[in-house]
Amino acid sequence: MKKSFKVTGMSCANCVANVEKAVRKINGIEEVNVNLVEELMLVSFDENKTDTLAIEEAVRKAGYGAELIDGETKKETKTTPEKDYKIYGLIASVILIIILMVVAMGPKWDISTNALLQFILVIPVLIINRHFFINAFKALRSGGTNMDVLVSLGSSCALIYSLFGLFMILINCEKGNLEHAEHYSMNLYFDSAGMILTLVSVGKYLESKSKRKTKDAIEGLLDMCPKKIIRINTDKDGNETEETIALEDIKKGDVILISKGEAASVDGTIILGSAVFDESAITGESVAVKKEVGDEVISATMIKDGFVRVKAEGVGEESTLMKIVKMTKEAGATKAPIARLADKISAVFVPVIIVIAIITFVVWLIISKDFVTAFSNGICVLVISCPCALGLATPVAITVGMGIGAKKGILFKSAESLERLKSTNTVVFDKTGTITKGIVSVEGEVSMDEVRETSPLAMKLLKEMGLETVMLTGDKKEKALKIAEEAGVSSVRYELKPEDKARVVKELQSEGKKILMVGDGINDAPALATAEVGMAMGAGKDIAIECADVVLMHSDLLDVIRAIRLSKKTILNIKENLFWAFFYNVLMIPVAAGVMQPLIGLKLNPMIGAACMSLSSICVCLNALRLMSVRLDKNLGETNTNDLQETVSKNDDKNYNGIGCECDTQITESGEKDMISFAVNGMMCAHCKKRVEDTLKAINGVISAEADLDKKCVSVETDGSVGEDALKAAVKEAGYEV
């Protein structure tokens, strides 16, 4: 069984490690992955050995909050009282710290009064930011460490030393020893104790805002559905009333009304009316589709004209849109292989930093014989080294990347598949329904399978990216070669049985090739599962989609290009984040420890260290947000591939276990859409006009059709793949003369 949980209270990579470690200790746990950005935990477990309550309790004992996510995924639309409290507390901390800094650095009219005032001012700051100390205590009690341990330890050391200084000031003032009192007053760290907490809190607030932006790509999908829906209620006498309800209140079997300009909130079937739907958000089809009674409606598709009543069938998490959102969020909770290094380092990071801080203190105490200098450098090491940036480096980029993919109709099932995709060097395609549209029938006769309009350009761009392309088909040699030439694949394997596809993939892998397998049918499932990355066309069979690592909702081969580009850009972004996170710690820890002080006189105080630490986390988040500007569509829409003039140079046949050949295709592109007009006799009314137009629009390759009753003719815009004879034959079959 697999369940998702909302986890609260995490602040860094060590928190993630603590939660995962606590849950893995439970008997029956198979796999656990935690996403710091989404605050999401995905757990696979044996329901006969454990349950969700035990998982939640384990997380709570580790010092964090956990709640089972059960029901529809919702987007937060308003600020909670808890968030209001945190914001007001943050503002109060900043104001108090500013006052405290003025008191600490300003003229001291009375040493003891000034010291007492500093202590009084820092108390509310400590109370407001007490969560650092509470979380640190919980982490230590459960046997773990996290960012809060470093922050609270640094602040506590500064506070304890300052309390000692305050006590000595009061004692010396009482004795009249003002010289000693003034010495201690110059070394109070009340401002540092409060400033460390406040600066980290400000940094975490800015970081959370950046992280929320990284989730916008996913959360934005939810905006496709309306929040209020009109439900049609029918009483026992057959009287109908309209009721406005919230999205989450829709139940299976409800009848809802969708009008022009509104989007479908559920999957369902039209039971009344007709409308023109824009399905581009889900299917990628740019041409609007007219739907009538009995037709299927997909959630998040919008009515451009008309109105319908729809019987709800897929509601809540069962709707197409929510499945996309859920799949994307769950994939974001998984870990990419590249994240394992960061996880291993984070697991020992905090204890190592504490040891370094102690060593720094001891060494400086021996060298300088100055307790204040040694103490300051030790605290600075603690607060500057928090592993926030290291923990955020991978998940923020993964979240943004997968969100961008989801908006483009490219669904990654795991972070691992996102990473592996960039390393593939050979793309293996199933033919029917993938490179081609599928077997078509004209006037009752089966004709040649048609190559998808975007297939040639996709193959051309894959070659330019340095990838080999291979087509697999059960067709005879002559037919296979013809399709291969039209599509422009590098090589083709023909006369294959369904079980041969997985064998070919293994054969290519034995040659050292990293395989991306793209298919859509049931017989593609073994090959999809065998390849390094399996990619299923969204219009394909469920079993193929289940076996795939990536799903292309739009069934467009250009999305293969987009997916590879997204993979490369996301992994590059992760590497950049990890580099800067490691570089920051490698550079700043020695500086904080005072290594540069005897060389160039550079010394950091704890407050500067806290500011630097917060800034490093914010920079990682902002770098991940750069992914939102990635150009996945570059060179994909600049050339019309509907009318391609191809020059093909053939290589000698190459035999693979007695099956297959290889060809190389070069494509020269021109292109304009074809407009075909011809006379149609027999059209008498608007019904006839619609029948002729619908008949022509149903033909593969027809972009639009417009009949003119007065002139008794029809104008048809095609992509160049269908001829005039086929158009006329279809109109004749519909009962009209041409």
Chosen domain end from 327, 342, 377? 327
What is the 3-class SS of 77-138, one letter each residue?
CCCCHHHHHHHHHHHHHHHHHHHHHHHHHCCCCCHHHHHHHHHHHHHHHHHHCCHHHHHHHH
CA distance 73 to 211: 18
Instruction: Please indicate, yes or no, whether residues 415 and 323 belong to a single structural domain of this protein.
Output: no
Fill in the amino acid letter for 602: L
The pLDDT of residue 670 is above 50: no
Secondary structure of 64-79 as H, E, C letters: CEEEECCCCCCCCCCC
CA nearest to 552, candidates 223, 738, 302, 324:
324
Domain count, the chain: 4
pLDDT tier, 660 (very low <50, low <70, confident <90, very high otherwise): very low
Cβ contacts of 307 within 8 Å, gap of 6 or more:
257, 258, 259, 260, 273, 275
Q: Are 316 and 417 within one domain?
A: no
417 shares a domain with 549:
yes
Per residue in 459-479, pLDDT tens? 999 999 999 999 998 888 888
Q: What is the CATH number of the domain that holds 680?
A: 3.30.70.100
Answer whether residue 402 is part of any domain: no
Which range marks the domain in which residue 695 is found? 674-733
- Cβ–Cβ under 8 Å, residues 490 and 467: no
Write down the catalytic residue from 191, 267, 430, 559. Answer: 430
CB 394 within 8 A of CB 161: no
C-alpha distances (whole Å) from 158 to each of 93, 147, 192, 194, 225 are: 17, 17, 7, 9, 52
- Residue 491 tokens, joined: 């090589």
Mean pLDDT on 164-185: 85
In a domain, 644, yes or no: no
Which among 738, 716, 659, 268 is positioned nearest to 476, based on CA atoms? 659
The pLDDT confidence band at residue 656, using thresholds 50, 70 and 90, is very low
Q: What is the mean pLDDT of the chain?
A: 79
Dist. CA 199–CA 605, nearest whole Å: 13
Residues 6+ positions from 587 with CB-CB distance below 8 Å: none
At residue 549, the pLDDT reads 85
pLDDT in tens, 325-344: 776 666 656 666 666 666 66
d(CA 233, CA 663): 62
What confidence category does residue 659 fall into, taking pLDDT thresholds of 50, 70 and 90?
very low
Helices (H), 629-736: 686-697, 724-733
* DSSP-assigned letter for residue 598: H
Measured between alpha carbons, how far is 587 from 218 in angstroms, rounded to an integer? 35
Structure tokens at 397: 């980029």
Clarify whether residues 529 and 428 are in a common domain: yes
Pick the residue with more confidence: 418 or 601?
A: 418
CATH classification of the domain holding 318? 2.70.150.10
In angstroms, the Cα distances linking 257 to 231, 270, 271, 279, 433 are 6, 10, 10, 18, 34
Burial class (CB in 10 A: 0-12, 13-18, 19+), 429: buried
Picking from 62, 72, 66, the residue whose alpha carbon sits closest to that of residue 53 is 66
Structure tokens at 557: 């081969």
Catalytic, 674? Answer no
Tally of helices (H runs) and strands (E runs) in the chain:
24, 26
Query: Per-residue pLDDT for 101 more than 60?
Result: yes
Q: Is residue 514 part of a domain?
A: yes
Helices assigned H by DSSP within 422-515: 455-464, 477-487, 500-510
Across 640-656, average pLDDT: 33
Pairing of strands 550-552, 533-537: parallel
**Per-residue confidence at 271, pLDDT binned at 50, 70, 90?**
very high
Q: What percent of the chain has pLDDT over 90?
A: 15
Which of the residue ranges 39-43, 598-602, 644-648 would you say has the lowest mean pLDDT? 644-648
Structure tokens at 400: 């943004």
Q: What is the pLDDT of residue 648?
A: 30
Question: Which of these three, 510, 536, 553, is where a domain ends?
Answer: 553
Residue 457 lies in a domain: yes
Residue 118, in any domain of the structure: no
**Cα dihedral sign, 317-433-551-453:** negative
Burial of 666 (0-12, 13-18, 19+ CB in 10 A): exposed
CA quadruple 603, 608, 132, 70: dihedral sign: negative
Residues 133-142: what's their mean pLDDT?
A: 80
**Percent of the chain with pLDDT strictly greater than 70:** 80
58 lies in some domain:
yes
Please check the confidence at residue 407 and state whether its pLDDT lies above 90. Answer: no
Spatial contact of 254 and 319, defined as CB atoms under 8 Å apart: no
Q: Which residues contact 680 (CB under 8 A, 6 or more apart)?
A: 692, 707, 712, 713, 714, 731, 736, 737, 738
- Is residue 107 domain-resident? no
Q: Per the domain annotation, does 151 fall within a domain?
A: no
Report which secondary-structure segment, H or E, holds 349: helix 339-368
Q: Cα separation of 473 and 438, whole Å?
A: 12
Q: Which of 118, 124, 117, 114 is nearest to 90 (CA)?
A: 124
How many angstroms from the chain centroid is the CA of residue 469? Answer: 28
Last-in-domain residue among 262, 297, 327: 327
Q: What is the pLDDT of residues 182-206, one digit of tens each?
A: 877 877 778 878 887 887 787 677 6
